[in-house]
Amino acid sequence: MLRAGLVDDRVNGTQMLDTVSFGRAWSRIQSRLRDATVVLLAVAIGFGIALLPRLLNHSGGNDPLSPTKANPRVQLSTLSDGRVAKPLPQAPVDPASVEPPAPPAPSPIAAVTGFLDSEVARDFGGSYGSLSTADRLRAGSHTEWTDLHAQLPTITSFTPGETRSASGRAEVDAEVELKAGLDQITGLVPAHAHAVWIAVAEDGGWRVDFASSELVPRYPADAEATSAARSWVSARSHCRRAPQHRAGLLGTPALAAGLCGAGGPVRVGAPSPFHAGVGVEPFVAAFGAEVFAWARAVPVQSPSPMTAVLAPIDDRWVVIGVLESLPGGSR
């Protein structure tokens, strides 16, 4: 999906909002093609507590618009995970082969709203024309830019907010609505996000610096994960269908099957961040290391001990897998 440079992580209770880098979404298209050995090694060294997308800070100067200002970054499956996408060029292509842009917008807000209007309308030729020169050099052509959207979140609507400008560069805030979902191709896409779009002065007007723009996903409150886990356990213990990830459960599905007919009260604990540990490899293989940023683990004490793993799909928490409650594991 989408993000980079200027928004700090926010913690609201137990809920963490993660910054998403559009530029890193592009590089993610290559890096996600690592082999299983690298994945397992990442888990072994504690990817859950040392993820580059969430904890890598870059210190900058006092310029509030500096792209190097201290800012934890996340790769959104952050919004685009790019698991099977073709990579973008690492070096700029021949400028002579790049298609010309649309006329520059008269202001930063006009550049951003024009770009977003085109994205919402799925007019990718139009949004390509609003990109900065550097972005168009990376993308190559509007056809390649259109193809890239197979790995980018679908923006369904937006509400522009405050604009801040300095030295030929501007930030434009916007609340965006996205086509939410979770799968092994695009990873997790939240339903709502706060965006900071970057506009740059070019050709006597303004264009969108897509690679430096960012999103902060808005997830359901962590407390709601407890209720979702309790409802899921209750339904499964009564041998009923329970809301869960439509692609099937990861981890140890037999634990969920064993709930059918289990007697005793339903007792679950408070949610906590999903950490690297015993049994997490299927989750990392399916969704990448970003799963540690957005998933929550809810301990189930009764009627059968286990750990339910939930994802914030659309506006609710959904069980995506179960693990044994083992020392050293996620719980």
Q: 105 lies in a domain?
A: yes
Q: 114 lies in a domain?
A: yes
Do 165 and 276 lie in a common domain?
Answer: no
Do 207 and 284 lie in a common domain?
Answer: no
Question: What's the whole-number mean pLDDT along residues 162-183?
Answer: 94
Q: 146 lies in a domain?
A: yes
Do 114 and 245 lie in a common domain?
Answer: no
Could you write out the DSSP letters of every residue in 61-120? -S-TT-TTSS---B-BTBB---SSPPPPPSSPPPGGGSPP-PPPBSSHHHHHHHHHHHHH
Lowest mean pLDDT among 63-67, 97-101, 178-182, 270-274: 63-67
Residue 207 burial class via C-beta count within 10 angstroms: exposed 0-12, middle 13-18, buried 19 and up: buried
Do 149 and 172 lie in a common domain?
Answer: yes
Host H or E run for residue 53: helix 52-55
Q: 2 lies in a domain?
A: no
Domain boundary among 159, 190, 218: 218
Do 38 and 92 lie in a common domain?
Answer: yes
Do 201 and 308 lie in a common domain?
Answer: no
pLDDT digits (tens, 9 = 90+) for 107-160: 999 999 999 999 999 999 999 999 999 999 888 888 999 999 888 889 999 999
Q: According to the model, what pLDDT value does residue 321 have?
A: 96
Range of the domain at 310: 223-323
Do 208 and 73 lie in a common domain?
Answer: yes
Contact criterion met (CB below 8 Å) for 328 and 318: no
Q: 5 lies in a domain?
A: no
Q: 328 lies in a domain?
A: no
Question: Which is higher by pLDDT, 326 or 94?
Answer: 94
Cross-strand partners of 205: 202
CATH number, domain containing residue 164: 3.10.450.100
Q: 330 lies in a domain?
A: no
Do 203 and 227 lie in a common domain?
Answer: no
What average pLDDT is seen over the chain? 75
Do 187 and 244 lie in a common domain?
Answer: no
| Cα three-residue angle 149-152-154, rounded to 5 degrees | 90
CB atoms within 10 A of CB 45: 11
**How would you classify the pairing of strands 316-323 and 250-251?**
parallel
Percentage, residues of the chain above pLDDT 70: 69
Give the model's confidence band at 186: pLDDT under 50 very low, under 70 low, under 90 confident, else very high: confident
d(CA 234, CA 283): 24
Question: What's the whole-number mean pLDDT along residues 266-278?
Answer: 92
pLDDT digits (tens, 9 = 90+) for 251-261: 999 999 999 99
Do 191 and 44 lie in a common domain?
Answer: yes
pLDDT digits (tens, 9 = 90+) for 20-68: 444 444 344 334 333 333 333 333 323 232 222 222 222 333 332 332 2
d(CA 328, CA 176): 38
pLDDT digits (tens, 9 = 90+) for 199-257: 999 999 999 999 999 989 999 999 999 999 999 999 999 999 888 998 899 999 999 99
| pTM, entire model | 0.69
Domain boundary among 160, 188, 218: 218
Residue 287 pLDDT more than 70?
yes
Q: How many domains does the chain have?
A: 2
Question: Which is higher by pLDDT, 54 or 103?
Answer: 103
Give the model's confidence band at 285: pLDDT under 50 very low, under 70 low, under 90 confident, else very high: very high
Q: 23 lies in a domain?
A: yes
Do 197 and 244 lie in a common domain?
Answer: no
**CA 153 to centroid of chain Cα atoms:** 9
Q: According to the model, what pLDDT value does residue 43 have?
A: 32
Kindly report the backbone phi and psi dihedral angles of residue 297, in degrees, each rounded to the nearest multiple of 5, phi listed first. Answer: -110, 130
Question: Which is higher by pLDDT, 62 or 263?
Answer: 263
d(CA 308, CA 268): 9
Domain boundary among 218, 249, 278: 218
Q: Distance of CA 31 to CAs 47, 65, 86, 151, 262, Å?
A: 15, 28, 11, 14, 44
- Secondary structure percentages of the chain, helix, strand, coil, to 5: 30, 30, 45
Specify the residue for token string 């709502």. Answer: 192
Do 17 and 156 lie in a common domain?
Answer: yes
